[in-house]
Amino acid sequence: MEDPPSNSIPIPLQSPPPPAPSAKPTSSTKAPPTIEKSDDLLDPAETAQSGQYVLLVRKAKCYNGKRSLTIHSIVIQSDRLRHFLARFLSGYPGVTLSLHRLEFRAPFEPFVHRWEAFCAALQSEPDDVTYRHADLLHRILDEELHDTIARKKDMVQSKVITHELLWALLEPGVVVDSRTVDGRPRAFEVEAGAYCDHTRGFVVVVAVLAFFVDGVREIVWDAQAFDSLVLPHEYPDLKKLVLRFARAQSRSRSRSSSSNHRTKMASTM
Q: Which residues pair with 61 in a beta bridge?
A: 69
Q: Which residues pair with 184 in a beta bridge?
A: 181
pLDDT at 11: 45
Instruction: Verify that 55 and 138 share a domain, yes or no.
Output: yes
- Give the domain extent around 142: 50-158
Q: Each residue of 23-63: pLDDT tens digit?
A: 555 555 566 666 666 666 666 667 777 778 889 998 888 88
Instruction: Verify that 152 and 175 share a domain, yes or no.
Output: no
Q: Each residue of 221-258: pLDDT tens digit?
A: 777 777 777 777 777 777 777 777 777 777 766 666 55
Torsion (CA) 196, 199, 201, 202 in degrees, nearest 10: -40
pLDDT at 229: 73
| Cα distances (Å, whole numbers) of residue 141 to 179, 239, 259 | 37, 64, 54
Mean of pLDDT values over 197-202: 54
Model confidence band, residue 155 (pLDDT cutoffs 50, 70, 90): confident
Instruction: Verify that 176 and 113 share a domain, yes or no.
Output: no
Instruction: Verify that 102 and 183 share a domain, yes or no.
Output: no
Instruction: Verify that 141 and 170 share a domain, yes or no.
Output: no
pLDDT value at 85 more than 90: yes
Q: Each residue of 98-110: pLDDT tens digit?
A: 888 899 998 899 9
For 192-222, give one letter per residue: b (16+ CB within 10 A) or e: ebebeeeeeebeeebeeeeeeeeeeeeeeee
pLDDT value at 17 more than 70: no
Are residues 135 and 122 in contact, defined by beta-carbon separation less than 8 angstroms? yes
